[in-house]
């Protein structure tokens, strides 16, 4: 028997996404995706694909062109690689996210830090997308929600700890049917996640969650 949450693969309480691991989910056009940083200081890499055409993906570069900004804010659209609005940012309690650097991957840890075999966002997001026939090379460039990658006036970039705190959240309205994957980043070697990898919660709902529903989602 189907229910109103059947497409997302989760109930109204959403799902816990363990720190350092990836999860996939679906949302249909018009549904709301709420992503909560439960403990704070946790970045979460996020990718999305058009459910009807997996070759059309959420695209940071197209979003930057649309918004004429390397950042996004409430009311902005996050764009697809085909130039279509894929999500509307309806709520953002943090205001600082990154869309400039790739997901951490096996090379990042093996080459840059000398730690082969470390968990990483690329493989975390690839894992659930395999069921859709996606190759690891087809995992799109991510939005790194809550990640703090300041860009200074001279153009230099950095990655440092997030400014998000326990309960901070982002609400996106899906504007097309989407397949998504998220990975609370396993980076525990350099700042980014406060050197402590923690859980997130994701919920997909028909209506925009109200204050009491958000409070329930903030509970670990």
- CA atoms lying within 13 Å on the CB side of residue 219: 6
Q: By CB neighbour count within 10 A (0-12 exposed, 13-18 middle, 19+ buried), where does 34 fall?
A: buried
CA separation (Å) from 58 to 62, 124, 133, 200? 8, 17, 17, 21
Structure tokens belonging to residue 107: 């090379």
* Beta bridge pairs of residue 171: 34, 91
Q: Closer CB to Zn ion, residue 38 or residue 104?
A: 104
* Residue closer to Zn ion, measured from CB, 185 or 202: 185
Q: Site mask, Zn ion, residues 2-21, x = CB under 5 A?
A: --------------------
Among 17, 36, 99, 104, binds Zn ion (CB under 5 A): 104
- Which range touches Zn ion (CB under 5 A), out of 3-11, 75-83, 113-121, 149-157? 113-121
Total of chain residues touching Zn ion, rule CB under 5 A: 3
Q: How far is CA 199 from CA 5, 38, 102, 166, in A?
A: 22, 6, 21, 10
Toward Zn ion, which CB reaches closer, 14 or 184? 184
Is residue 121 involved in binding Zn ion (CB under 5 A)? yes
Q: Taking contact as CB under 5 A, which single stretch among the options 68-76, 116-124, 173-181, 210-218 is the one that binds Zn ion?
A: 116-124
Q: Which residue's CB is nearer to Zn ion, number 14 or number 186?
A: 186
Nearest distance from C-beta of residue 52 to Zn ion, angstroms: 28
Q: Does residue 185 bind Zn ion (CB under 5 A)?
A: yes
With respect to Zn ion, which residue has the nearer C-beta, 159 or 172? 159
Give the residue among 126, 31, 17 at the shortest CA–CA distance from 86: 31
In the Cβ-directed half-sphere of 102, how many Cα atoms lie within 13 Å? Answer: 11
Part in contact with Zn ion (CB under 5 A); list of ranges 21-29, 52-60, 75-83, 98-106? 98-106
Q: Which parts of this chain interact with Zn ion (CB under 5 A)?
A: 104, 121, 185
């Amino acid at each position: 028997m189907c229910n109103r949450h059947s497409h997302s693969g989760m109930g109204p309480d959403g799902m816990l996404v363990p720190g350092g691991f990836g999860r996939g989910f679906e949302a249909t056009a018009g549904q709301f995706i709420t992503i909560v940083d439960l403990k704070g200081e946790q970045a979460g890499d996020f990718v999305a694909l058009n459910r009807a055409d997996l070759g059309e993906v959420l695209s940071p570069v197209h979003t930057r062109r649309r918004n004429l900004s390397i950042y996004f804010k409430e009311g902005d659209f996050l764009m697809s690689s085909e130039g279509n609005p894929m999500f509307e940012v309806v709520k953002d309690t943090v205001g600082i996210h990154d869309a400039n650097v790739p997901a951490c991957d096996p090379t990042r840890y093996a080459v840059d830090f000398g730690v082969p075999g470390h968990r990483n966002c690329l493989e975390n997001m690839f894992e659930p997308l395999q069921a859709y026939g996606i190759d690891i090379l087809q995992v799109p460039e991510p939005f790194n929600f809550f990640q703090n990658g300041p860009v200074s006036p001279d153009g230099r970039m950095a990655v440092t700890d997030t400014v998000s705190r326990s309960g901070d959240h982002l609400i996106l309205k899906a504007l097309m049917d989407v397949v998504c994957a998220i990975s609370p980043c396993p980076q525990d070697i350099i700042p980014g996640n406060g050197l402590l990898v923690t859980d997130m919660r994701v919920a997909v709902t028909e209506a925009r969650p109200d204050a009491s529903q958000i409070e329930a989602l903030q509970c670990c």
